[in-house]
Structure 1
């Protein structure tokens, strides 16, 4: 039964947004197929193992007629599913998506069930990628359309798992990367990070032009999914959050590009503010849009004056004037390594404190 499609149809008919729920079996649905709790109403879909799967929505948004319509629709779907399973004589095995959502919902990290270990690609090295988008729902294609697009792009060597309607896990066979590297005459072991960066850039460009436009991608080192898929999803989400907080003009995020940001993220808000105040004597001047852009581009080009001027489309002397002005106002010369580090860290911290 395609419960995702049923959820989408109900949302279109009722103009509501339902939420997927994974619930402990011993706590829910003793007396029927709906539960009302904490202003939410939960509609039972199906059960697997020790868990119930349901859709929830704020009960104040539903009329009694709409509630009855939903119950009748879901009852019919369950009956059709039971008849199909009885006719085939087989119980549908748990899907990878269902198992992953179980693990994430209850913060578990169990081994993959035997039925999922029958998928060969889950037993070998894969490149794990997390895709997130925040465009409006009507601009997003269906999961099936995205899967078809990715299959065409990668020639089918992928595992695709929709975690929500705006978050997707993609596992790409490491063979795909090795093929690209061999064509370029490079050694994958010695250039893994550069190769993964290029791999993710190709994916981003394809999604940008063929799917929903701008989205965010987090990529990690290759893993064997059967051994660590839940752990890697959590790590990808952490990378995604770090990248979106600290690198707001970038759309591809990786752990090897966020070492400093990971270290700074453990500081409290108060510690961040104190650091910024001690480094920057005139914060308003320092964080002027033009100066902020200039400094960020200067750091992005490894403090190369000529390259920075080229990237900013300004004369080299104009850039030097701005850097001298910054030094005059703050006492910090970003052409000196130790002082450049202080300014770089302060700018990163400011991005985060500005959001809070």
Structure 2
């Protein structure tokens, strides 16, 4: 698609890799699917065209994307098939990807705020003006998933922006690390698109929905055949059962999140069990119903 833009904007330039210096007279756009960059002269783009291109591609902010030595080696390793960054033997890392929703982002201030939550030094790479990755060595890991929720809330209140995280798994520093990085990136993109207003993602949070989304149509039909009618007849029951399962069958927490009395919650659960014959406190029953909930939810979004 970027190559087609060359015919529309005669003075544009196609770049095989992210430019390492600023092009003051150009807007730089990145096509992730093709791993290509294009520079289009600012004077040739109207405001309406600029807004449209920003919807289709990532606008790269070269002014703020200059990388320090350590960040540069990691950027080349993860994104440009560069050599493994220098580190100790048998070093392990996890990558925490983040995405910011909002305008007027000051990357320096955001980066400073992010680093302030970690007890030791971490490397932060900005992929574009809204997205980046925090690289954390195993011995330095300090934040739990709950602490990332606090971090999200703090960033939102201080900067009036929404920030979401994907907390990656711990991996050995090897040539395979970029592969894991892009797989986690795929999960992150899926989670942001399909899991509602959640702002903190991890493999175990995303994968059940990812799995159901990619099930064969025949299997989807068999699962929906068992429970879809119950959920269609009573959407309130669907919401109740899904929240109950997501909260580890904790009645108090579920009732609090749904703003209902525990007796009301129990009535709805008993009604569901009576209609389906499936016991939610049985592992296999809970797993099957949760799978059906995810499929039903995906169907409703179509």
TM-score interval (norm. to shorter): 0.5 to 0.7
Larger Rg: 1
Aligned to 2:55: none
**1:218 offset after TM fit, Å?**
0.5
Task: Say which of 145, 156, 177 aligns to 1:197.
Answer: 145
Aligned to 2:72: 95
Aligned to 1:352: 298
Aligned to 2:164: 216
TM-score, normalised relative to structure 2: 0.67
Structure 1: gaps (5+ residues) = 1-18, 24-34, 64-91, 104-109, 181-194
Q: Whole-Å Cα distance in 1 between the matches of residues 280 and 239 of structure 2?
A: 16
Q: Whole-Å Cα distance in 2 between the matches of residues 224 and 201 of structure 1?
A: 26
**1:348 offset after TM fit, Å?**
0.8
Equivalent residues of 1:218, 1:240 under 8 A apart: yes
Aligned to 1:263: 211
Equivalent residues of 2:71, 2:123 under 8 A apart: no
Structure 2: gaps (5+ residues) = 20-34, 48-68
Task: Say which of 119, 125, 136 aligns to 2:92.
Answer: 125
Aligned to 2:140: 176
User: Residues 151 and 282 (structure 1 numbering): CA distance in 2 closer, same or farther, change over 3 Å?
Assistant: closer
User: Residues 122 and 349 (structure 1 numbering): CA distance in 2 closer, same or farther, change over 3 Å?
Assistant: farther
Aligned residues: 264
Equivalence map 1:286-325=2 (5 Å): 286=234, 288=235, 290-325=236-271
Task: Say which of 109, 113, 118 aligns to 1:149.
Answer: 113
**1:176 offset after TM fit, Å?**
3.0
Q: Whole-Å Cα distance in 1 between the matches of residues 233 and 82 of structure 2?
A: 54
User: Residues 176 and 60 (structure 1 numbering): CA distance in 2 closer, same or farther, change over 3 Å?
Assistant: same
**1:296 offset after TM fit, Å?**
2.0
Equivalent residues of 1:126, 1:223 under 8 A apart: yes
Aligned to 2:276: 331
TM-score, normalised relative to structure 1: 0.59
Q: Whole-Å Cα distance in 2 between the matches of residues 325 and 94 of structure 1?
A: 56
* Post-superposition CA distance 1:208-260 (Å, at most 9, x none): 33334432210112235564442232122122134335542422111133443
Aligned to 1:206: 154
Aligned to 1:55: 39
RMSD between aligned alpha carbons? 4.2
Q: Whole-Å Cα distance in 2 between the matches of residues 207 and 122 of structure 1?
A: 35
Q: Whole-Å Cα distance in 1 between the matches of residues 132 and 254 of structure 2?
A: 36
Q: Whole-Å Cα distance in 2 between the matches of residues 196 and 94 of structure 1?
A: 24
User: Residues 174 and 322 (structure 1 numbering): CA distance in 2 closer, same or farther, change over 3 Å?
Assistant: same
Equivalent residues of 1:125, 1:223 under 8 A apart: yes
* Post-superposition CA distance 1:302-328 (Å, at most 9, x none): 224455334434333212222233345
